[in-house]
Amino acid sequence: MLTVSAYVLASLGRTASLPANVFPFLGVIVALIGLGHLAVRRFAPDADAILLPIAALLNGIGYVFIARLDRHLAGLQATWTALGMVAFVATLVVVRRARDLERYRYTFALMGIFLLLMPLLPKFGENINGSRIWVKFGPLSFQPGEVAKIVLAIFLASYLSERQELLSDRQVRLRVIGPLVLAWALTLLVMIAERDFGSSMLFFALFIAMLWVATARPVYLGAGAALFAAGAAFAYSSFAHVKDRVQIWLHPYQLFNGKGYQLVQSLFALGAGGIAGTGIALGSPGRIPAVQTDFIFSAIGEELGLFGTTAVLVAFLLFVGTGLRIAIRSPRDFEKLLATGLTAIIGLQSFIIIGGVTRLVPLTGITLPFVSYGGSSLVANYVLLALLLRISDQHE
């Protein structure tokens, strides 16, 4: 009802009339969410009841703003939403027990590395906006890194659960920590080669978070902070793209007529929204370049105000809190770590992109989960959601 109401308000704000397709739109929304609900009741009846409605709400709000900004992209996003729901149901059907994934840890490791390397393949990889993170097969383009983050989370959960005691030992040996360091180093090198520093930050934070949860040793947090500082300093001094992002973050208004234009327009949009917003379709978020992808949170802030952005943040907090509750209640280490990793992906990705558009941290080009336009991200996040529900089903 919230999604359909927002869709109606968007039409009223744009044309001062009710949308002609409001009832078909309502039918599609009900059908997709109903399909997901029935799949959960059939294949994971004891799963947590909060996550799917939150994901559907975020997806619906994102779709309304994409439709309000670009009708063509709205049609594509609707198709990707349907494919995401199919992937959600398929994951629940195929993965009947989360612990079965643990046996294929090195298969998932190789798969994750291959997915990260795919954009570097000649004739297939595409360089868009300075980042080589896309793979194109004919008319179809997708980001394999969106799938890689889930695959590598499964590998890390499996490896860490098996080596947990050894890694917690203060005399941890190189042969134990070595494979993890090698996997991270390769991931980092690939990310640098692809100029995708947002995903690099996400993978590094995921790695450190899961390692800390597995061992409960603060030394890993300290080491992670030191490595991050060293890597950030190296990237800043070696890559003009990173240096530009930092300068835009520090001095956006001085660069307003150039590289800082996008961020400044985002800040103007958030300021114009005030407390309650201008109203859906009554603002001007189209002035922000790439607003449907990187800056959709700013569009929500302008037209729904502080109330709307707070609601989105609360939805993500509920998602993360529920995911961590699933992790705490999981009786086996693998499921506990996997739930933690999957939840961390959503939480960290949301923090990085929302922090970027509000100038809390330097801006990086990643999507806001379930909200931004992007087929690869949307389908991958629905698979992630299905895995979390599968874990919760086995211990509720």
- Looking at residue 17, its amino acid is S
Q: Which of 21-30, 51-60, 365-374 has the lowest mean pLDDT?
A: 21-30
What's the whole-model pTM score?
0.92
The answer to whether residues 39 and 92 touch, using CB atoms and an 8 Å cutoff, is: yes
Residue 49 has pLDDT above 60, yes or no: yes
User: Is the alpha carbon torsion for 64, 73, 292, 204 positive or negative?
Assistant: positive
Over the range 56-95, which residues count as b (16 or more CB within 10 Å of their CB) and which as e? Answer: bbbbbbbbbbbbbbbeebbeebbebbeebbbbbbebbeeb
**pLDDT tens per residue across span 172-209:** 655 556 666 766 677 667 767 777 777 788 888 888 88
CA 376 to CA 162: how far, in whole Å? Answer: 31
Give me the percent of the chain exceeding a pLDDT of 70: 92
Residue 396 has pLDDT above 60, yes or no: no
Task: Name the DSSP letter for residue 18.
Answer: -
Kindly tell me if the per-residue pLDDT of 370 is higher than 60: yes
How many CB atoms are located within 10 Å of the residue 340 CB? Answer: 26
pLDDT at 242 (0 to 100): 82
Tokens 């958030």 belong to residue: 270
Residue type, position 19, single letter = P
Give me the pLDDT at residue 252, please: 93
Contacts of 343 (CB under 8 A, 6+ apart): 319, 320, 323, 324, 326, 327, 388
Q: Give bridge partners of residue 125 from the DSSP assignment.
A: 135
CA–CA gap between residue 205 and residue 72 (Å, rounded): 35
Query: CA 306 to CA 302: how far, in whole Å?
Result: 8
Mean pLDDT of 32-61: 94
Q: Is the dihedral of CA 189, 193, 199, 200 positive or negative?
A: positive
| Cα–Cα distance, 352 to 251 (Å, whole number) | 19
- Taking the C-alpha atoms of residue 184 and residue 76, their distance in angstroms, rounded to an integer, is 34
Residue 64's nearest CA partner among 303, 364, 269, 380 is 303
The band of 296, judged by pLDDT with boundaries at 50, 70 and 90, is very high
pLDDT at 217: 80
Q: Give residue 13's pLDDT.
A: 82
Q: Directed axis angle between helix 296-329 and helix 375-393, to 10°?
A: 20
Identify the pLDDT of residue 228.
Answer: 80
Closest by alpha carbon to 284, among 295, 275, 293? 295
**pLDDT for res 130:** 62
DSSP assignment of 116-185: HHGGGSTTTEEEETTEEEEEEETTEEE-HHHHHHHHHHHHHHHHHHHSHHHHHSTT--HHHHHHHHHHHH
Order the strands of the 140-142 sheet from edge to edge: 125-128, 131-137, 140-142
**What pLDDT, in 10s, does the model give residues 108-125?**
988 988 888 888 777 777
| Residue 353: Cβ-neighbour burial (10 angstroms; 0-12, 13-18, 19+) | buried
Contact status, residue 70 vs residue 366, Cβ threshold 8 Å:
no
Query: Does the structure show a pLDDT above 80 at 126?
Result: no
pLDDT the model gives residue 178: 65
Instruction: Determine the pLDDT at residue 319.
Output: 97
The tokens 């968007």 sit on which residue?
Answer: 10
Phi, psi torsion values for 308, nearest 5 degrees: -70, -45
Gyration radius (Cα) of the chain, Å: 21
In this prediction, residues 145-174 reach a mean pLDDT of: 81
Scan for tokens 């030394």, then name that residue: 219
The C-alpha atoms of residue 327 and residue 340 are separated, in whole angstroms, by 6
Cα separation of 309 and 303, whole Å? 10
